[in-house]
Amino acid sequence: MKFVDILQQWSRPLRDKGVMGLNERNISYINRYNSRHLYPRVDDKLKTKLLAERYRINTPELLGVIRSHGEIKRLAEVQPAQGGFAIKPSKGSGGKGILVIQQHDGERYQKASGEWIDRSRVERHLSNLISGLYSLGGSPDVAIIERLINFDPAYSDFTFEGVPDIRVIVFKGYPVMAMMRLSTKSSDGKANLHQGAIGVGLDLASGKATRAVQHDRPVMEHPDTGQALSELIIPDWQHLLTLAASCYDMAGLGYLGADLVLDKDYGPQLLELNARPGLAIQLANGCGLKPRLALVESLDEETPDRPDAADRVAWAQKQFSTPEVAFELPVATV
Amino acid sequence: MKPEQIHAKRPKSLLKWIIVFLLVAGTAYTLYRHYIHGIAWWPDTRQELWDVEARVEFDATGGPVHVKLALPASQPGFILQSEHTASPGYGLGFDEGRQRYADWTLRNGQGSQLLYYRAQFRVDPQRRIPQLGEPPEIRPVVWSTPLKTAAAQLLASAYQVSSDPFSFARALAQRLQNPDNQNARLLLSELSPVEAMLRLLNQADFHAREVHGLRLEDGRRRQPVQSLVQVFSGNEWRLFDPSSSQPSATTSGSDAKVPLLLWEQLGGPVLEVVGGKNSSVTFSMLKTSEPATASSNTRMASDALLSLSIHSLPIAEQSVFKTLLLLPLGALIVVALRVLVGLKTSGTFMPVLIALAFLQMSILTGLITFLLVVGAGLLLRQTLANLNLLLVARVSAVIVCVVGLVSLFSVLSFHLDIESGLKMTFFPMIILAWTIERMSILWEEEGPHEVLVQGFGSLMTATLAWAAMDLSVMRYWMFNFLGLQLIVLALILMLGSYTGYRLSELRRFAPLRNND
Ligand SMILES: Nc1ncnc2c1ncn2[C@@H]1O[C@H](COP(=O)(O)OP(=O)(O)O)[C@@H](O)[C@H]1O
Ligand SMILES: [Mg+2]
C-alpha cells in the first residue's frame, strides 16, 4: 500500500490547489461546454477571421485568400505594395506552414529571420500549402494572406525572433487565466510551449508578469536575451481582455483559448481561437484553474441576464487578481 | 440560448445505471455459465478437449458422386467423444472396418461441393485405450551403396542413446530432423523423411508403418494431413513425425508439445472422390477445456441462450472468435494506460494490433522485428520525403516498402535459420506504414526525442496488452465466460468518466505542489 500512499501524497496538494488534469478538462469542460458543430469556427482560421470581422473583433487585416494552384499568380495583386505580410495555412496548427515576410521588392522576399528568398520559393511554399502539406491529415487547404503584425520594439528583449502571443482562457465569456508565450532559440522562434517557448503567467487585474516557466519548470529570465521576465507588463490590458471575452459571443464555445497579439499601431488583435486549450497555463501562473472555473459556474444561476464583455472582464479582474508576485522570492535569494 | 446547460447533469447518472446494468448482467451470465452449464472457473488441463473439423471440397462433374473419407478412432492419448457430419442432400454411411470411413453418396452432383466432418476428442493422459490394429510385417531393406554406411551410422548412434523401440524411434526422428546431420542429409536426398525412418526401423527389426495424422495446434485452420510413422512395441504404439521442424514434437499423447493425432492408419488415401475434381480435405482444430461432467450433449442442449452462443458455431469460426474475444482486453489496457498513466502512443489503437501480431510470434522476435521494420522504414521514408509527394501517394509508397522489407527480412531469416522470422507476415502492414509515416513527421516536427517517447509508449502498451492477452487463464475466461466481455465494457465506461489526474501529470504539475 506504499504506492497508493505516495500517489495520495502527490495528488492531494494538487487537488487542494484546484489544478485541473487532462481527463477532467476533457470530460467536465470540453465535452460539456463545447458543442462539436462549433469546432469548424475555430479549427479553420479563415472562418474565424471572417466571423471576427463580422463581430468587429480586431484581427490582422485579411489581404486575400489563395484557394487553388491557379490562383498562386494572384499573390502579386494580393500582397501589399510595401511592408510585410504573413502567409498561413487556414487549417494549420502549431505554427506549421506560416511564412512571415518582413518586406519585399516584388522579386525577392525577406523572411522574419532576415534571410532573403526568391519569389519562386514563396510560390512553391504556397503550392505545398494548398496541397495540404501543413494541414491535419493532409487535406487540401487554402492560404490566408494577412497583414504583418508589428510587435512593439520596446518589448523585443522579451522574445527571440518570433512575435509573442497572449493566451487567455475564456470560460462562459469570462476571462479566467492568461499567459504570454515568448519564443526562444530552442523553440525555433515559435511560441509553442512544448517546443521550448517560455510561458509567463499574467495577473488578470494588472497585466503584470507573476512567474514564468520553460519546459514546465520555473525560469527567471529569458535564456537568449537575459531580460528579467518579472519586468513584463502588458499595455492596454483591459482592452485586450475585453477582446478575448467577446470571442465567446462570436464562437459560442464555453471553454475557449483565445490567442492574441499586441500590434504597435493597431493594439490588441485576435490571432486564433482554440477549442482544446492546453493546461500549461496553470504552471505559468502557479495556480489551478478549477477554483476560478467553479466560481464562474456558480455565477450562472445568480445572474440570468447576460452581462456584456466589459462587465465580465471587470468582474473577472476583481475576482482573479494575483496579489503576491512569485518572482520576488527566488530573485532575492540570488 | 446555449445548449450547454441542458446536457450538464443527466449523462452522469445514466452512465452510472448503464455501468451497474453491465456489471450485473455480466456477473449473472458468468455465474450462469459456471453453475448451470458447468464450466469450471479454472482451465482444467486434465479435461482438455480437441475439436477437429475436416472440410472436404471438390467440384462435382455432373454425375453420381461418391466420397470416401477416412475417419479417426479412439487411440492412446485421445478418446473419441462425439462426431457429427454436415452434408446437405447426401446419403451417408459408415464403414467400420480396420479403418473407419465415411461414405457420402449423391445421385447427381453439380458445381462446388462442401462436406464437413467434426469429431471431438478428450485428451486422455493415462492412454487407457489398448493398442489397436496388428503390427505390420517387417519388410526386408536393401540400401543402395552410398546410403548403406550412412544408414548404418545413423542406426548405431541412435541405438547408443536409446533403451526401447520408442526412445530409439525418437532418437532416429531427431537425427532426421537435424539439418546438420550429414548422414541424415544423405538419406533424405533420395528418400522422404517418413520413408527413410521406416526403412531404418525395419532394418533394426522394429514394426512400423506409414500412417496419416494431424499436428494438433490450437486455433489452426486449413491444415493439411501429414504423413507420420507409427511405431509398435508389443501392445503399444506411438506416432513420430520425422519431417517436423520442431524437434520436441515426436510422440503422440499429451506429453508432447505438439500432440499428433492418428487419422488414417493403413497408409492409404485419406480422401477418395469419384465423380468430382479438384478435391481437397483440410482440417481446423480448436482446444477447449471443460469438466468431464459437461459432456458434449449438455453443450448442444436446446437452450435458447446457448444455441445463440459462439460455442455453437463451426470450429473454424470459433477459432477466429478465440482471438477476437481478446481484443476488448487489449482495448481496456489502452484506455487504462491513456487515462490513468498518460502514456503517449503513436496512434491510439495501433499498440493493440501490434500486440495481436506478438501473439502469433514470440514477444522477443516480435519486438525485434517491429524495431527492425520501423527503423528501416523510417530511413526509406526519409528518401521519399525528398520526392515531395502527396500524402496518400507517400503512405502507399511506404506500404509497398514495408511489404518489401518484410519479405526481405523473412527470406533473410529463413536462410539464417531463424524460423520465427517467417511469422513477420502477421504484422498489420498498413498500420506499420502509417506508424512509419507518423513517426517520421514527428521526427521532423518535434525532433527525435518525441519519436522515442511515443515509440516507447507504443511498445510498452503493446507489450502489456500482449501480456494480458497471452495469459492462458485470460484466454480461457474471455472465451468461455462471455459475461466477462460486459464487465470489460463496464470497466472501459468507468475509465471513460474518470476525472482524476494521470500519473504523468503528477510529475508534470510537481512545481505547483511545493510552492506555498
Ligand atoms: N500576421 C502575422 N504577422 C507576424 N507573425 C505572425 C502572424 N501570424 C502569425 N504569426 C506568428 O506565427 C505564430 C503562430 O500563428 P497562429 O496564428 O497562432 O498559428 P498556429 O495555429 O499555427 O499556432 C504566432 O505566434 C506568430 O508568432
Ligand atoms: Mg497559435
Q: Where are the domains of chain A?
A: 3-40+153-319, 61-147
Which of A4, A6, A9, A10 best probes binding to B when mutated, by most B CB atoms within 10 angstroms?
Answer: A10
Of B5, B391, B502, the CB nearest to A21: B502
Q: How far is CA B54 from CA A270, B87, B111, B270, B315, in A?
A: 71, 12, 20, 11, 10
CB-based pocket (< 6 A), ligand 1: A 60, 86, 88, 92-96, 98, 100, 146, 148-149, 162-163, 165, 191, 259, 271-272
Look at residue A264 and tell me whether its pLDDT is greater than 50.
Answer: yes
Its sign, for the CA torsion A183, A188, A190, A194, is negative
Q: Choose one of A91, A271, A274 to mutate for the ligand 1 pocket test, by most ligand atoms within 8 angstroms of C-beta.
A: A271
B62 vs A1 pLDDT, higher one: B62
Residues in chain B: 516
Instruction: Count the domains in chain B.
Output: 1
A218: which strand partners?
A213
The predicted structure's pLDDT at residue B515 = 55
Q: Choose one of A96, A98, A156 to mutate for the ligand 1 pocket test, by most ligand atoms within 8 angstroms of C-beta.
A: A98
Q: Do A11 and B508 touch (CB under 8 A)?
A: no
Contact of B252 with B262, CB cutoff 8 Å: yes
Side chain identity at residue B18, one-letter code: I
**Residue A126 cell numbers, joined:** 504556397
pLDDT tens digits, residue range A6-20? 888 888 999 999 999
Question: Does residue B29 lie within any of the structural domains?
Answer: no
Ligand 1 midpoint to CA A224 (Å):
21
Look at residue B245 and tell me whether its pLDDT is greater than 60.
Answer: no
Contact of B78 with B50, CB cutoff 8 Å: yes
Tell me which residue range forms the domain holding B463: 319-481
Q: What is the mean pLDDT of residues B221-245?
A: 82
CA dist B496 and B511 (Å) reads 28
pLDDT tens digits, residue range B147-203? 888 888 888 888 888 888 888 888 888 888 888 888 888 888 888 888 888 888 888
Of A23, A131, A213, the CB nearest to B502: A23
Give the predicted TM-score (pTM) of the model.
Answer: 0.70
Look at residue A172 and tell me whether its pLDDT is greater than 70.
Answer: yes
Q: What is the mean pLDDT of residues B377-391?
A: 80
Question: How many CB atoms are closer than 10 A to CB B142?
Answer: 9
Note the ligand closest to the C-alpha atom of A278: 2
Protein residue with its CA nearest to atom 27 in ligand 1 = A163
| Shortest CA gap A238–chain B (Å) | 26
Ligand 2 midpoint to CA A272 (Å):
6
Look at residue A132 and tell me whether its pLDDT is greater than 80.
Answer: yes
Q: Does ipTM top 0.90?
A: no
Contact of B81 with B49, CB cutoff 8 Å: yes
- The Cα diameter of chain A in Å comes to 70
Chain A, nearest residue to B1 by Cα: A252
The predicted structure's pLDDT at residue B185 = 86
Ligand 1 midpoint to CA B255 (Å):
70
Question: Does residue B64 lie within any of the structural domains?
Answer: no
Note the ligand closest to the C-alpha atom of A183: 1
B129 falls in which pLDDT band (50, 70, 90)? low
B21 vs B205 pLDDT, higher one: B21
Question: Does residue B186 lie within any of the structural domains?
Answer: no
Q: How far is CA B19 from CA A23, A271, B31, B495, in A?
A: 19, 43, 18, 11
Q: What is the mean pLDDT of residues B364-377?
A: 86
Side chain identity at residue B377, one-letter code: G
The predicted structure's pLDDT at residue A30 = 94
The predicted structure's pLDDT at residue B421 = 56
Look at residue A28 and tell me whether its pLDDT is greater than 70.
Answer: yes
B213: which strand partners?
B226, B262
pLDDT tens digits, residue range A285-333? 999 999 999 999 988 665 566 788 999 999 999 999 876 555 554 433 3
Please name the residue that has the C-alpha cell 507504443.
B458
Neighbours of ion ligand 2 (CB under 5 A): A 259
Q: Do A23 and B506 touch (CB under 8 A)?
A: no
The predicted structure's pLDDT at residue B237 = 82
Contact of B231 with B201, CB cutoff 8 Å: yes
pLDDT mean across residues, chain A: 88
B299 falls in which pLDDT band (50, 70, 90)? very low
B294 falls in which pLDDT band (50, 70, 90)? very low
B8 falls in which pLDDT band (50, 70, 90)? very low
| Shortest CA gap A236–chain B (Å) | 29
| Distance from the first to the final alpha carbon of chain A | 41
Q: What is the mean pLDDT of residues A258-267?
A: 92
Question: Does residue B256 lie within any of the structural domains?
Answer: no
Q: What is the mean pLDDT of residues B62-78?
A: 87
Contact of B236 with B245, CB cutoff 8 Å: no
Q: Do B500 and A282 touch (CB under 8 A)?
A: no
Residue A163's nearest CA partner among A246, A271, A235, A58 is A271
Please name the residue that has the C-alpha cell 494431424.
B214
Q: What is the mean pLDDT of residues B352-378?
A: 86
Look at residue B28 and tell me whether its pLDDT is greater than 90.
Answer: yes
- Tell me the chain B residues in contact with residue A286 when contact means C-beta distances shorter than 8 Å: 511-512, 515
Chain B, nearest residue to A20 by Cα: B501
Note the ligand closest to the C-alpha atom of A191: 1
Q: What is the mean pLDDT of residues A254-272?
A: 93
Note the ligand closest to the C-alpha atom of A159: 1
Look at residue B84 and tell me whether its pLDDT is greater than 90.
Answer: no
| Shortest CA gap A151–chain B (Å) | 26
Atom of ligand 1 nearest to the CA of A151: 4
Protein residue with its CA nearest to atom 4 in ligand 1 = A149
**Residue spans of alpha helices (H) in chain A:** 2-16, 22-24, 31-33, 39-43, 45-54, 75-78, 119-131, 237-251, 280-285, 290-302, 309-319, 328-333
The predicted structure's pLDDT at residue B416 = 74
Q: What is the mean pLDDT of residues B334-360?
A: 88
Residue A178's nearest CA partner among A199, A155, A204, A209 is A204
Q: Do A254 and B511 touch (CB under 8 A)?
A: no
- The Cα diameter of chain B in Å comes to 100
Q: Do A252 and B390 touch (CB under 8 A)?
A: no
The predicted structure's pLDDT at residue B303 = 46
The predicted structure's pLDDT at residue A246 = 94
A41 vs A305 pLDDT, higher one: A41
Q: What proportion of chain B, given as a percentage, has pLDDT over 70?
A: 84
B309 falls in which pLDDT band (50, 70, 90)? low
The predicted structure's pLDDT at residue B446 = 76
Residue A268's nearest CA partner among A198, A180, A194, A199 is A180
The CATH number of A3-40+153-319, from 3.40.50.720, 1.20.1090.10, 3.40.50.1370, 3.30.470.20, is: 3.30.470.20
What are the backbone dihedrals phi and psi of residue B308, each rounded to the nearest 5 degrees, phi first?
-90, -5
What are the backbone dihedrals phi and psi of residue A320, each rounded to the nearest 5 degrees, phi first?
-110, 30
Minimum mean pLDDT range among A116-130, B32-46, B373-387, B435-449: B32-46
Q: What is the mean pLDDT of residues B311-332?
A: 80
Minimum mean pLDDT range among A94-98, A149-153, A301-305, B471-475: A301-305
| Shortest CA gap B92–chain A (Å) | 59
In the DSSP assignment, the letter for residue B212 is E
Look at residue B424 and tell me whether its pLDDT is greater than 80.
Answer: no
B11 falls in which pLDDT band (50, 70, 90)? low
A33 falls in which pLDDT band (50, 70, 90)? very high
Atom of ligand 1 nearest to the CA of A181: 25
Question: How many CB atoms are closer than 10 A to CB B50?
Answer: 21
- Tell me the chain B residues in contact with residue A216 when contact means C-beta distances shorter than 8 Å: 508, 511
pLDDT tens digits, residue range B187-202? 888 888 888 888 888 8
Look at residue B296 and tell me whether its pLDDT is greater than 50.
Answer: no
Q: Do B501 and A23 touch (CB under 8 A)?
A: yes
**Residue B425 cell numbers, joined:** 507476415
A246 vs B365 pLDDT, higher one: A246
Look at residue B128 and tell me whether its pLDDT is greater than 70.
Answer: no
Look at residue B126 and tell me whether its pLDDT is greater than 70.
Answer: no
The predicted structure's pLDDT at residue B22 = 96
Look at residue A214 and tell me whether its pLDDT is greater than 50.
Answer: yes
Atom of ligand 1 nearest to the CA of A162: 27
Ligand 1 midpoint to CA A48 (Å):
14
B516 falls in which pLDDT band (50, 70, 90)? very low
Alpha carbon B202 to its chain's center: 36
Alpha carbon A158 to its chain's center: 16
Q: Do B391 and A138 touch (CB under 8 A)?
A: yes
Question: Does residue B303 lie within any of the structural domains?
Answer: no
| Shortest CA gap A18–chain B (Å) | 10
| Shortest CA gap A159–chain B (Å) | 21
Chain A, nearest residue to B445 by Cα: A96
Look at residue B331 and tell me whether its pLDDT is greater than 80.
Answer: yes
